[in-house]
Structure 1
Amino acid sequence: MDLEKPAARKQPAPAPAGAPAEGCLVTAIRLPVRIVALVVVVPVRLLWDALVAVGRVLRDTVLRPAGRALLWVGRALFVWPWVALGRYVLVPVGKALGWLGYVLLVVPARWVYRHALTPLGRGLAWLGRVLVVVPSVGLYRYVLAPVGRGIGLTLYWTARVLFVLPALALWRWILVPAGRVLAVIGREVRDALRHAWRIAGYVSRAVGRFFGTLLRWILVEPVRWTYRNVLTPVGHVVRDVVWRPAAAAARAVGRAARQVLAPVRDSVRRARADVRRLLLGAPERPVGHQEAAHREPGRPQARTLGSSTTALTKD
């Protein structure tokens, strides 16, 4: 007899709080929309990934160096001359003109404003307050405001009955239900496009891996095998059998040629020196050098046991 309790069935996870309940409309819309979105989005995603790869290659190899070159040329032709013109011509001229305008216009205008226009403006403001503002305030407070309140209350209720209440009914009973249905459809279309885009990404990566593997086995691996098993041993044999003996023979020939040509060079050098001496004579030593040689004391000879240069053995 089996004493173990049967495993409890896995209960479905409760829906998160605030999530909309899925009805028959959602179930009827979701599957067709997702199938159509997958069929439409997969080719678009493959084309998009290919264009992105090509665009990256063009950006790194063509557009970025060309943009840097054009930027440097544009700076050299348009920015730097205008910067130099503004810094060394327009700025000093503008400072001079500003100082001249300040002296000729601002200082006199300030004096006129302070000593003439300000008192005149204060007087005109007080006449305007007495003649215009005070009567206007009284007219607004005691005449226009009561009349405006009555007219505004009438217009408010008229507009509320004619426009606000029909618009509120239209919004509550027609637009809100239609918006909910459209929101469900739009949400399902968005989810379908999102799933289709994700699946298309998986398909695109699988296609890219397939072509990469195919290219590696068709091109890279044969080239690597040929280099490792054919070209490398052949190169070693050529290096050990041909190149090194040839280099050693060339070095030996070079040494022998140098040894043969060394006496010839010495003979040519001596013959050229003899011809120069016969034609031009022996080169004269400079006078200063001769006088210095006469002035310099002679180098003492090395002492030997038989020499008698010491004071004890001098005759």
Structure 2
Amino acid sequence: MENRSAPQSPEGCLTVAIRIPVRIAVLVLVVPVRMAWDLLAAGAKAVRRVVLVPLWRVLVVIPFEWSYRFLLTPLGRAIAWLAGLAGAGILALGRGVAWLAVNLVAAPAGLLFRTVLAPLGRGVGRVVRGIGTGIGLAARAVGFVLGRVLWAVFVRTPTTLWRLLLRPLLRHGLLAPGSWLYRNALTPLGHATAWLGRAVGTALAAVARGLGALVVVLFVVPVVWLYRQLLTPLGRALVVVVREIGHAVGHAWRAAGFVSRAVGRGLKWLARNLLGRPLRWVYAALLTPVGHWVRDAVLRPAARAAREVGRIAADAARGAGRAAREALASARETVRTARQEAWRALVGGSPRERVEHRARTLGSTTTASGAVPAPEISLSKTEG
């Protein structure tokens, strides 16, 4: 089935007379506004793409990534390790406390309960049960006697008093005169009051209907006439004017959009042909070869030379460290020899070489196979 547009109502002469001038005037006013809006939107997009996004990345994203990678992640791992260590310690402490509680508290308490408290409790329970049985029998007897007394005082006596004295007095002294008064005095008075109220209500209703008709004639009829003959046509004309102005603004905004896009495409074509292509040619024909030459002829040789210099410096530093360690070892040997010579000169004794033991243990031969335990006496005492 073909899609058919909804039937449109015929337009009046006021609509046709207002539409064309309003659309021309609105188009003249809206085109500059739309072009300025499109220019501001393009500038805002460019500022966002060129300034705000890089600034956001430099000020927020990169510091956050760096702090997360080099600060928060190691800190979190350290905290997790410490938490695991603390959990293991707490678990071990808990197991120890549980063992102590079971062996030092629960087992003696269970033994005490089984051997002392349970038999004592059963004996106390039997005694208390016997005492409770006796008290219950005594209370049942006292309750029976007290119940009979209370029934006689609070039930039997009031019942007899009501049946023999109060009920005849109430029936013959209050109900009979009240019934007679209701039938012979209050009922005729109520009927007369109701008739008088109906008459007053009828009169008030008639007065209200008269006032309502007067209000309708004096206020409602003129207001309705004014609404139908003046306000309704004026409102319809105002609705037509406002609707046409809104339609005109919409058409003018769309037409201004076409004009703005055409102007923007023209400016883009001019910028591409006057700036973009010459700059691209300069980049491709001049800057790229120069940059490649600088990279191949200057930067890479400089980087290789820097790496060679760094390697030579590292080798020199390692050689210097090795020489320093050897010098320190020689100095320690010299000091040791001088100390032994000085001790022999002071104490005396034949010079002998220092015996190097293969392994030094504290009286056990489990450290290395074939190792002889070293004596626990210092060299000075053996030489002395």
Deviates more, 1:258-267 or 1:40-49: 258-267
Name the residue aligned to 1:198.
Answer: 254
Which one-letter code corresponds to 2:297 in the other structure? V
Q: What is the rounded CA distance, in whole Å, between the counterparts of 2:294 and 2:332 in structure 1? A: 53
Map 1:1-315 → 2, pairs under 5 A: 16-17=6-7, 19-51=8-40, 61=52, 142=198, 145-253=201-309, 255=311, 265-279=321-335, 288-289=360-361, 291-292=363-364, 296-298=368-370
Which one-letter code corresponds to 1:42 in the other structure? V
Distance apart, 1:225 and its partner CA:
3.6
Distance apart, 1:39 and its partner CA:
1.0
Query: For the structure 1 residues 45 and 262, does the alpha-carbon distance in structure 2 shift closer, same or farther, using more than 3 Å as the test?
Result: closer
Q: What is the rounded CA distance, in whole Å, between the counterparts of 1:176 and 1:294 in structure 2? A: 117
Query: For the structure 1 residues 258 and 161, does the alpha-carbon distance in structure 2 shift closer, same or farther, using more than 3 Å as the test?
Result: closer
Distance apart, 1:191 and its partner CA:
1.9
Deviates more, 1:172-181 or 1:260-269: 260-269
Q: What is the rounded CA distance, in whole Å, between the counterparts of 1:255 and 1:150 in structure 2? A: 121
Name the residue aligned to 1:304.
Answer: none
Q: What is the rounded CA distance, in whole Å, between the counterparts of 1:149 and 1:271 in structure 2? A: 131
Name the residue aligned to 2:70.
Answer: none
**C-alpha deviations, 1:255-274, integer Å up to 9, x for none?**
55666676555434322221
Deviates more, 1:255-264 or 1:150-159: 255-264
Q: What is the rounded CA distance, in whole Å, between the counterparts of 1:280 and 1:167 in structure 2? A: 128
Query: For the structure 1 residues 251 and 45, does the alpha-carbon distance in structure 2 shift closer, same or farther, using more than 3 Å as the test?
Result: closer
Deviates more, 1:171-180 or 1:187-196: 171-180
SS at match of 1:30: helix
Name the residue aligned to 1:93.
Answer: none
Distance apart, 1:172 and its partner CA:
2.9
Alignment gaps of 5+ in structure 2: 61-189, 340-353, 372-384
SS at match of 2:10: coil
Aligned-pair RMSD on alpha carbons? 4.5
Q: What is the rounded CA distance, in whole Å, between the counterparts of 1:191 and 1:139 in structure 2? A: 69
Q: What is the rounded CA distance, in whole Å, between the counterparts of 1:164 and 1:259 in structure 2? A: 112
Which one-letter code corresponds to 2:15 in the other structure? V
TM-score by length of 2: 0.43
Query: For the structure 1 residues 149 and 50, does the alpha-carbon distance in structure 2 shift closer, same or farther, using more than 3 Å as the test?
Result: farther
**C-alpha deviations, 1:125-172, integer Å up to 9, x for none?**
xxxxxxxxx9xx969963553233112210121122222222333333
Distance apart, 1:24 and its partner CA:
3.7
Distance apart, 1:36 and its partner CA:
0.7
Query: For the structure 1 residues 257 and 55, does the alpha-carbon distance in structure 2 shift closer, same or farther, using more than 3 Å as the test?
Result: closer
Alignment gaps of 5+ in structure 1: 1-13, 70-133, 300-315
Distance apart, 1:179 and its partner CA:
3.2
Identity of aligned residues (%): 41
Query: For the structure 1 residues 265 and 162, does the alpha-carbon distance in structure 2 shift closer, same or farther, using more than 3 Å as the test?
Result: closer
Q: Report which of the two structures shows the higher radius of gyration computed on alpha carbons.
A: 2
Name the residue aligned to 1:103.
Answer: none
Q: What is the rounded CA distance, in whole Å, between the counterparts of 1:233 and 1:140 in structure 2? A: 120
Which one-letter code corresponds to 1:298 in the other structure? G
| Structure in which a larger fraction of residues adopt helix | 2
Which one-letter code corresponds to 1:150 in the other structure? A
Q: Count residues with an aligned counterpart.
A: 214
Query: For the structure 1 residues 292 and 233, does the alpha-carbon distance in structure 2 shift closer, same or farther, using more than 3 Å as the test?
Result: farther
Q: What is the rounded CA distance, in whole Å, between the counterparts of 1:235 and 1:164 in structure 2? A: 92
SS at match of 1:278: helix
Q: Which has the higher contact order (CA 8 A, sep 6+)?
A: 1
Deviates more, 1:171-180 or 1:149-158: 171-180
SS at match of 2:233: helix
Name the residue aligned to 2:161.
Answer: none
Which one-letter code corresponds to 1:230 in the other structure? L
SS at match of 1:289: coil
Deviates more, 1:193-202 or 1:237-246: 237-246
TM-score by length of 1: 0.51
Which one-letter code corresponds to 1:32 in the other structure? P
Which one-letter code corresponds to 2:23 in the other structure? R
Name the residue aligned to 1:118.
Answer: none
**C-alpha deviations, 1:192-231, integer Å up to 9, x for none?**
2221122122223333444444444455444444333333
